[in-house]
Chain A
Amino acid sequence: MLMSSEIQTFTEKYDLLGCIQCGRCTGGCPVTVRANLNVRQFVNDAYDEDKLEELARLAEIWDCTACHTCAVRCPKGLKPLEVLIGLRTMIVESGKVEPTVRDALQSVLLEGNPWEKSRATRLDWMEDLDVKIADPDEPVENLFFVCCTIAYDPRVRAIARNMVELLNKAGVDYAFLPEDESCCGSEVFTLGEEGLFEMQVEDSTEFLNEYQAGRIVTLSPHCFTTYKTHYPDLKSPVIHYTQLLVELLNNGKLTWKGELPKKIVYHDPCYLGKQGNIYDEPRELLKSIPGVELLEFERRRERSLCCEGGGGKMWVESESKKERLSETRIKDARALGADVVAVACPFCVLTLEDSMKGLGLEEEMRVVEIMELLGELMEK
């Protein structure tokens, strides 16, 4: 028997009675083109508590990427995707999840990251760099939180490494958290492990509040949005690194060497744009590079197409054999004549680059995180 501690309050918790069945959620949902997901139907059917177990067993609840398009579009202010997450919780609490999901969640509990890496190696990305480490007794203006994916995945480590070099060069008052830093829980939340997520919020709030930080600077939009939305008791405000860099740019502290005569198209990550409401800063940074011609996707800003990297999808394979949204995105970029697809999210780098390689476009195109590009142009 599947259990949810919230069965009694499902309708209240997700405000199901507020739904007017207008269908804007499903109408905007990007995964409907490849999966059998109709989120409006779930919002409708979940009202019947006797049906919850049956709904929870439907495979399509795992197709949601938590892109939040449905929540942005809902005229009644509902978060339709959270109904799907609530159903996932029922499955997670029965223990019968995909092995990949199981291992990721267990790794968060035991090692503080979803990538099954040892906590003791969390700071290995700093090797050979001169990094200031935060001390609870010393006030610091910019306290950096490094996302688990950036800390452990060699493909995206440069985001953090370049950041350190840039901060040292620009003389910014900063410090990075020591190795007790733990996962923000973004993917734990969307995978539906409610109990674990509650524990993370409690533990990390306590941990982060020990520091006297002017603000917490996040490198990944997933951490950014999660801290902002789900951590009400954090002492310090939370910003995304692109906000800090635009400040530095405006103060004349960022200068680039040479020119980059490239056509760059910027892909709005769902967690930075739709959820974090940051659209302009990444564009300003890219435009500041001499020689760059900034292109725009037709689907941009609030309407940006999801790369399918969120919602725990890093650990849940889609059954659909139809074209991945990241492939569609790369093809669109190609049609625009872009040389570079720039993003500001480690997950987007991984999904988009994968599709770019899959399409055999490695020679013609590049997928980069903005920090990677800036690292190459920075005067060291």
Chain B
Amino acid sequence: MKTFVCIKYVPDTSEAEVKLNPDGLSVDDSRFSFDINDADNYAVEESVLIKEAQGGEVTVLSIGPKKSDVMIRMAMAKGCDKATRVEDDRIATHDPLMVARVLAGGIKGQEFDLVMTGCMANDDWHMATGVALAEELGVNHASMVNKLELQDGKVKVHRELEGGLLEVVELDLPAVLTIQTGINEPRYAPIRGIRQAQKKELNVVSLDDLGIDPAEVGTDASQVVLEKLYIPEVESAAEFIEGEPEEKAEKLASILHKGGLL
């Protein structure tokens, strides 16, 4: 089984106040701690469990700065075999489609059975990268996976739907799975393991190394224009719409219309 696992280095915004940089387009992250994205940690564990059960190779893939190497080494200490880190400031990282394109570039041309991503990133909450990555690679996908069983050439997965429903689907491999937290219990990466993982291969590459045209993954290629970030004002106004469903819908539509939202 050859697996790729995509992991992102994200800030923990729960402990310090979120403040914007003067450019209004980025968040001041100087007071946050950084760690592997929560769901990605479960994806790493799942990839290692699969490798332990049936052999194979796990490759870590990440787009991020040098300081995220510690996260990559931890994944390797847990059992991942090698890693590629893409470092290139020409990528429009605010657009999950562009990110997916770069990740696909890090995988294409190599043999793979499974690609695992987290189901969402704690910083931007797009919940879209994994699904877009499947599209870029031209393979099957299942999102929000909280249980999986590998069968011959196939994978049976349990997908979490909204409202607590579960869907069980079977996919032909290769496939992309976006992993939900809770699928397993991620292990600890002991420091001695991290030290040993220093010997494993970690390739730092640019877009050029991957043979990706920067124009295809940069801000000009992206359909998403990041105009402005702002901290939402805390407001307590809430209007309850009363009436029969049709009446409610009508009132709601009229409010949205008046507000210029429709």
Contacts and interface: CB of A to CB of B under 8 A. Distances in A.
Partners in one complex: yes
Contacts of A107: 33
Interface stretch (A70-78, A110-118, A296-304, A320-328): A110-118
B15 A93 contact: no
A109 B78 CA distance: 15
Contacts of A250: none
Contacts of B186: 99, 102
A117 B192 contact: no
B30 A93 contact: no
Contacts of B191: 109, 193, 195-196, 199
A111 B190 CA distance: 15
Given A95-B78, A110-B35, A195-B195, A118 B16 contact: yes
A121 interface: yes
B228 to A, nearest CB: 25
A95 B158 CA distance: 26
Given A117-B33, A118-B16, A118-B31, A106 B189 contact: yes
B235 interface: no
A17 interface: no
B219 to A, nearest CB: 29
Contacts of A96: 187-188
Interface in A92-137: 92-97, 99, 101-102, 105-107, 109-111, 116-121
A251 interface: no
Contacts of A110: 33-35, 70
Contacts, number: 67
Contacts of B187: 94-97, 102
B16 A95 contact: no
A102 B193 CA distance: 14
| Tier of interface size on chain A | 20 to 34
A187 to B, nearest CB: 14
Nearest to B187: A95
Nearest to B34: A110
A5 interface: yes
A21 B112 CA distance: 58
B233 interface: no
A117 B33 CA distance: 7
A117 B32 CA distance: 8
B15 A121 contact: yes
A39 to B, nearest CB: 24
Contacts of A93: 190, 192-193
A110 B194 CA distance: 12
B152 to A, nearest CB: 29
B135 interface: no
A107 B35 CA distance: 9
A126 to B, nearest CB: 14
A97 B16 CA distance: 28
Contact of A121 (B16, B35, B74): B16
A56 to B, nearest CB: 14
Name, among B16, B34, B35, B191, the residue most crowded by chain A CB atoms within 10 Å (CB to CB): B191
B12 interface: yes
A180 to B, nearest CB: 15
A372 B116 CA distance: 51
A89 to B, nearest CB: 9
Contacts of A101: 188
Contact of A92 (B74, B185, B188): B188
A256 to B, nearest CB: 37
Interface in B24-42: 30-35
Nearest to A93: B190
Interface string B160-196: 0000000000000000000000000111111111110
Contact of B188 (A105, A119, A120): A105
Contact of A95 (B12, B32, B35, B190): B190
B190 A121 contact: no
A234 B186 CA distance: 37
A118 B33 contact: yes
23 contacts: A5-B192, A93-B193, A94-B187, A95-B78, A95-B188, A96-B187, A96-B188, A97-B187, A97-B188, A99-B186, A106-B74, A109-B191, A110-B34, A110-B70, A116-B15, A118-B16, A118-B32, A119-B33, A120-B30, A121-B15, A193-B191, A194-B192, A196-B191
**Those 8 A-B pairs whose CB atoms lie nearest each other, nearest first:** A95-B187, A195-B191, A118-B33, A102-B188, A195-B192, A196-B191, A120-B31, A95-B188
Given A95-B190, A102-B188, A196-B190, 20 more contacts: A93-B192, A95-B78, A95-B193, A96-B188, A99-B185, A99-B186, A101-B188, A105-B188, A107-B33, A109-B191, A111-B33, A116-B12, A119-B33, A120-B30, A121-B16, A121-B31, A193-B190, A194-B192, A195-B191, A199-B191
